[in-house]
């Protein structure tokens, strides 16, 4: 009887220990599953944070140009400049608050972004909230705006929550933005879009020789007599050839001539010298026995190109109606811009043109009127003393 009880007790004890072991391992397994699940959730949240950070950078790249265009539209249609561009951009980007809500382009603010990102991530169990901390904008270069903002991003998923403070930096190009400076200063009759180009030179002296007269036109390099004789609209070209012995009777039909040697007296503007450096189909200026390549200068003037400037207003300054650089938005001293004024375009737009005033826009559209010099060969092209060397005009001013 005692043995039976002992045996039964041992079986019971063994069974109890077995159940305890099973429950223990089941508990460990449940804890492990919960741990794995938590780790996966955290990883999921962190990956989502990285996605939002990347997406926000793209949004900033889209949003800031939209806000700038909204400012430009507001200024052009109302004929006034904003007082504080930095705060105007900040309020529009952070809070969707603008000078006139009718001008603010949709989907430009963080509020818009938060709605959009939640509409996408809510279906996966996420809830996103974004809070602005600070914002700044200034010029990284003359033609790029640097945007710097700090945001708090909160993400909740299931019963988990993270909060992260992130800094975002983006450079925004101002190329092809309309310049309200022109619209307002011309009473809406003329405009200009910010554009620039890198040139190796503005003016290059390609021939030093003998000659006289002043003429500017496109070159045409021809050595064959018949090709020269049969050329149409000779008056529109500067002929470049080796000699004039067979074309004496038609030389005067050209705007000018550049040649190696002459056999008779030439009465049109001309240069006699080495023609090896002269380019075909290129604008040249003949002046006092020299030939200057002015193709780049003419292109810059006609297209109202803009260039870096220490004196001219930055693009952000221009949005506030300034002519001169205020240093308010500068990273370096040369972050301002100056653009050529095409007086022919202004005249065609119905504006009275200040013929003798410099063609540098921040001076032209101001009450300043420094001494300016006419640029030979160009119609109504004047330059002030401070810009003669910059644009390599010292030998071609009058």
How many CB atoms are located within 10 Å of the residue 183 CB?
A: 19
- Residue 22's pLDDT is what? 45
- Residue 33's pLDDT is what? 39
- The least confident of 3-17, 176-190, 273-287, 371-385 is 3-17
- Do 185 and 366 form a contact (C-beta atoms < 8 A)? no
Distances (CA, A) of 220 to 34, 165, 224, 263, 288: 83, 64, 12, 20, 20
Among residues 238, 247, 249, 234, the alpha carbon closest in space to that of 214 is found at 238
Name the percent of the chain lying above pLDDT 90. 76
Of 363 and 12, the structure prediction assigns the larger pLDDT to 363
Instruction: Calculate mean pLDDT across residues 246-264.
Output: 90
Distances (CA, A) of 27 to 32, 37, 335: 8, 15, 67
pLDDT digits (tens, 9 = 90+) for 286-329: 999 999 999 999 999 999 999 999 999 999 999 999 999 999 99
Residue 176 gets the label, from left (phi > 0), alpha (psi -120 to 50) or beta, of: left
- Do 356 and 370 form a contact (C-beta atoms < 8 A)? no
Among residues 218, 214, 208, 209, the alpha carbon closest in space to that of 262 is found at 209
Contacts of 229 (CB under 8 A, 6+ apart): 247, 250
pLDDT at 277 over 70: yes
Q: pTM of this prediction?
A: 0.86
- Residue 146's pLDDT is what? 96
- Residue 20's pLDDT is what? 45
pLDDT digits (tens, 9 = 90+) for 319-360: 999 999 999 998 877 789 999 999 999 999 999 999 999 999
| CA–CA distance, 387 with 392 (Å, rounded to integer) | 8
| CA–CA distance, 301 with 346 (Å, rounded to integer) | 12
| CA–CA distance, 152 with 163 (Å, rounded to integer) | 7
pLDDT digits (tens, 9 = 90+) for 151-185: 999 999 988 899 999 999 999 999 999 998 888 88
Longest Cα pair distance anywhere in the chain, in angstroms?
149
Among residues 139, 260, 270, the alpha carbon closest in space to that of 213 is found at 270
- The least confident of 31-45, 237-251, 366-380 is 31-45
| CA–CA distance, 370 with 358 (Å, rounded to integer) | 8
Report the alpha-carbon angle 121-122-127, nearest 5: 90
DSSP state of 193: B
pLDDT at 23 over 60: no
pLDDT at 18 over 70: no
Of 151 and 39, the structure prediction assigns the larger pLDDT to 151
pLDDT digits (tens, 9 = 90+) for 366-382: 999 999 999 999 999 99
Mean pLDDT across the chain: 89
- Torsion, Cα 169 170 171 174, to 10 degrees, reads -130
- Residue 8's pLDDT is what? 54
pLDDT at 5 over 60: no
- Residue 236's pLDDT is what? 97
- Residue 11's pLDDT is what? 53
Contacts of 330 (CB under 8 A, 6+ apart): 138, 139, 314, 336
pLDDT digits (tens, 9 = 90+) for 188-224: 899 999 999 999 999 999 999 999 999 999 999 999 9
DSSP state of 314: P
- Do 69 and 89 form a contact (C-beta atoms < 8 A)? no
Structure-block tokens of residue 206? 């390609």
Phi and psi at 227, nearest 5°, equal -65, -40
- Split at pLDDT 50, 70, 90, the class of 6 is low
- Split at pLDDT 50, 70, 90, the class of 10 is very low
- Do 138 and 330 form a contact (C-beta atoms < 8 A)? yes
């Amino acid at each position: 009887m005692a043995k039976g009880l002992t045996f039964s007790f041992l079986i019971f004890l063994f069974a109890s220990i077995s159940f305890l072991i099973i429950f223990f391992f089941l508990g460990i397994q449940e804890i492990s599953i919960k741990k794995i699940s938590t780790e996966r959730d955290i990883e999921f949240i962190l990956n989502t944070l990285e996605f939002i950070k990347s997406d926000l950078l793209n949004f900033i790249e889209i949003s800031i140009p939209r806000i700038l265009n909204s400012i430009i539209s507001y200024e052009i249609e109302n004929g006034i400049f904003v007082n504080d561009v930095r705060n105007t951009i900040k309020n529009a980007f952070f809070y969707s608050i603008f000078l006139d809500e009718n001008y603010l382009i949709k989907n430009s603010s963080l509020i818009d972004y938060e709605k959009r990102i939640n509409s996408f991530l809510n279906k996966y169990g996420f809830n996103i909230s974004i809070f602005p901390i600070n914002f700044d904008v200034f010029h990284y270069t003359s033609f790029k705006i640097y945007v710097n903002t700090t945001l708090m991003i909160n993400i909740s998923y299931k019963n988990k929550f993270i909060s992260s403070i992130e800094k975002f930096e983006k450079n925004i190009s101002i190329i092809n933005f309309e310049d309200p400076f022109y619209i307002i200063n011309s009473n809406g009759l003329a405009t200009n879009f910010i554009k620039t180009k890198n040139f190796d030179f503005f003016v290059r002296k390609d021939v030093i020789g003998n000659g006289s007269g002043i003429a500017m036109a496109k070159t045409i390099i021809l050595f064959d007599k018949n090709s020269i004789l049969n050329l149409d609209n000779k008056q529109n070209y500067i002929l470049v050839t080796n000699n004039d012995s067979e074309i004496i009777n038609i030389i005067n039909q050209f705007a000018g001539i550049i040649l190696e040697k002459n056999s008779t007296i030439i009465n049109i503007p001309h240069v006699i010298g080495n023609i090896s450096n002269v380019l075909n189909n290129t604008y040249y200026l003949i002046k006092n026995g020299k030939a200057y390549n002015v193709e780049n200068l003419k292109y810059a003037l006609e297209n109202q190109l803009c260039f870096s400037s220490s004196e001219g207003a930055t693009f952000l300054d221009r949005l506030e109606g300034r002519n001169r650089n205020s240093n308010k938005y500068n990273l370096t001293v040369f972050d301002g811009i100056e653009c050529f004024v095409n007086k022919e375009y202004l005249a065609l737009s119905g504006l009275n043109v200040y013929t003798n005033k410099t063609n540098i826009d921040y001076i032209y559209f101001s009450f300043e009127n420094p001494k300016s010099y006419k640029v030979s060969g160009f119609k109504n092209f004047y330059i002030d003393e401070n810009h003669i060397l910059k644009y390599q005009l010292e030998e071609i001013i009058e």
